[in-house]
Structure 1
Amino acid sequence: MTAPTDFRDMTRALYAVVSAAPGKRDWQGIRHYYHTDARVVRTGLDAAGAPFAKIMSFDEYVANVESLLQEVRFSEVELTHEALIFGNVARLTSVYEFTWKSPTETRHGRGVNFFTVIHEGGQWKIMSIVWDNERPGLTLPSSLL
């Protein structure tokens, strides 16, 4: 993979998989983008308003997403994308909007994924993805849009 065009291909592929219908998500089709030791981190606020970080391996992330979205239609679309590359490391910033639709409720929102990517074995591999979504009191700054 060359950069930065292929970084956009990477993020689009990830969004396409998570946006697929339940039972139709091709996780194995994107596994090659991830380093074997990659971490995927969901952040946010718990029910009491305290910050949390759920740190997962790729396989733990897949299981988590499949359980959370089993009865839900979910889609994410990338709004903006920025890559900063230095040698064999890169930081990607990907702003997205999402739609979460259950049989009784529809939610829309935006968030940001921060990727840490390394160049290894002739390929760029995701070492980590950390994200958070907008919520009351937290909106995306104009510098990310």
Structure 2
Amino acid sequence: MSGITDTDLDDILALCPRLYAAVGWNAEKAPDWDTFRACCHPDATLAALSSGAASPIPVETFVTSMNEQRATGALTDFSEVEIARHVEAFGNVAGVRSSFIAEMNGEKRRGITFAHIIRHEGRWVILSAIWDNEGDGKTIPASLI
């Protein structure tokens, strides 16, 4: 990885796990939206592709949606934990593939996030992230876990 220091690599590798930890909640713990926002570029876009249709949204729209699901009880608990990752980086850009296990309302599922990460104002942040979950005949191949 050209132009990337060990410190840069550590910072890049920490982003997805930090984002996953921040978004999670349960009866005892609320989501940490300040940390979640700090992981992202101010103009970052996020997109879940579980439905098969991409609808990129800004970070604040994602936060509002998750808060609404939490407030209405549609999601009573939510957590994500990284289980594998692959990083490619050069200069001020990086791409991360992060496989995860998520638990929502007690139901576990696996998925993969692909994140574009950039150095912005001296720190590494997510510029865009897209993810998809297993299901409907989609199984994560062993090579991605």
Q: Percent identity?
A: 31
Structure 1 residue 32: Cα displacement: 2.1
Please report how far the alpha carbon of residue 100 of structure 1 lies from its aligned counterpart in structure 2 after TM superposition: 1.3
> Whose helix fraction is larger, Structure 1's or Structure 2's?
2
The one of 10, 27, 30 equivalent to 2:36 is 30
Higher strand share: 1
TM-score, normalisation: structure 1: 0.85
Q: What is the deviation of 1:143?
A: 1.2
Which one-letter code corresponds to 2:56 in the other structure? Answer: I
Structure 1: gaps spanning 5 or more residues: 46-50
Structure 1 letter corresponding to 2:131: W
- Matching of residue 131 in structure 1 with residue 131 in structure 2: yes
The code of the aligned residue for 2:50 comes to G
Per-residue CA distance 1:74-96 (angstroms, 9 max, x = gap): 11111001111011110011100
Gaps of 5+ in 2: none
Q: TM-score, normalised by structure 2?
A: 0.85
Any conservation in 1 of the 2:25–2:78 contact (CA below 8 Å)?
A: yes
After superposition, the CA RMSD in angstroms is: 1.8
Comparing 67-76 with 30-39, which one deviates more in the overlay?
A: 67-76
1:34-88, Cα deviation, whole Å (9 max, x unpaired): 111110111122xxxxx21221101001011222344211111110011110111
Q: CA deviation at 1:29?
A: 2.3
Cα distance in 1 between the residues matched to 2:144 and 2:8: 20
Distance 1:11 1:3 in 2: 14
